[in-house]
Amino acid sequence: MTDESRLYPAVVTKVWPEVAHQRCLFHVAKNMHERLSEVLRTWRRSLPAPPINPTKKPSVRGRARDQDSPLAQRKTAAIHEVFRLREAGLSQGAIVRLTGHGINTVKKWLAGPRPAEGAAEGLSSEAASPPPPGWTSWAQVGQVRNSLMGHKGWLLGQVARWTEEQRTRFAVLVESPLGEQLRTVRALVEGWAALWRRPDGARPTVTESRQYFDAWVKDPRFQTDPALSGLVKRLAGKFEHLVPFLSEPTWQGTNNAAERAARAFRRWQRPHYRLRTQRSIERQLAGKAEVLVQPLRPAGRCVRGRSITTAAL
């Protein structure tokens, strides 16, 4: 079992021609998520940019002297937006990330009274320069941009592990013009997970996994985006090296255990300076292997004078 390094296939085939070469599912999924993250970054960069006043950047800082001043109107609209997000079920931290206001500012606004309805009317920045067709407001564009900027990791994770805040974020995302594209990404991630686990949690057979994989690769939704179609084609060429572990119940699909053992061995070497030569390393590994295969001895019983088999009974 190896990762996706190009150094291994030729060596494994030459040294062990009869051995099944298993690619680590963890490393394959990790590389797939990195490419999907790049796709999300590309979509984020393509979002429309709101208009900016070249003479004075709109701000809600400062104290307005007149309730009809542009600063007072911007602040009133910002407070309305904070209350609206709070009523939608978002936490104060989520509101900070979505709007860009400070946490103390959000707490202060939520603790105070809500401005009267219609007080924010007259803010005609949306009317003077409306967002592109399909977007309801520039605030929606900002929410989607912030969600794709620092919180894309959970978008590629398991839905069962999502928090209520993340579910609310996803509902906002799918209502945007990027909703169909994000559903496609979720279908790709969920389809990948279903290749290796049935709904009941059991392993599928190699035949079942191959049938599902053929249907998953041919999904027309993945062909609409060149990056997604290229990723699926890349995975299709590695399928035969991903399924060997399904033919044996005791085999693992990842080499995480081997990497953990290698890191543990490096920690053993740290205080033992003589554990550097090939002979000492081989003897250390042989001793660890012998300990692992020995039967467990009952606690509280002296094994002096008894064989290992007698002491284990």
One-letter amino acid identity for 275? L
CB burial string 248-272: b at 16+ within 10 A, e below:
eeeeebbbeeeeeeeeeeeeeeeee
Hey, CA dihedral for 176, 177, 180, 184, is it positive or negative? negative
Secondary structure of residue 207 in the 3-state scheme:
helix
Hey, CA dihedral for 21, 26, 29, 31, is it positive or negative? negative
**230 phi and psi, to 5 degrees?**
-65, -35
> The pTM is what?
0.65
Closest C-alpha to 94, from 170, 36, 175, 23:
170
H-only helix segments in 124-225: 125-128, 138-150, 152-155, 164-174, 179-194, 206-217
CA 277/CA 24 separation, integer angstroms:
29
Closest C-alpha to 228, from 274, 197, 182:
182
Q: Which residue has the tokens 């003897």?
A: 283
Which two three-digit tokens encode residue 267? Answer: 């920690």
In tens digits, the chain (313 residues) has pLDDT values of 888 788 888 888 888 888 888 888 888 888 898 889 888 888 888 888 766 544 444 455 555 555 566 777 778 888 888 888 888 767 788 788 777 788 998 999 899 888 776 544 444 444 447 778 888 877 788 788 878 876 667 888 888 888 888 888 888 888 889 889 999 999 999 989 888 888 888 888 889 999 998 888 888 888 888 888 888 888 888 888 888 888 888 888 888 877 887 888 888 787 877 777 888 888 887 877 777 666 655 555 555 655 544 444 4
CA 6/CA 3 separation, integer angstroms:
9
Residues linked to residue 23 through DSSP beta bridges, in sequence order: 2
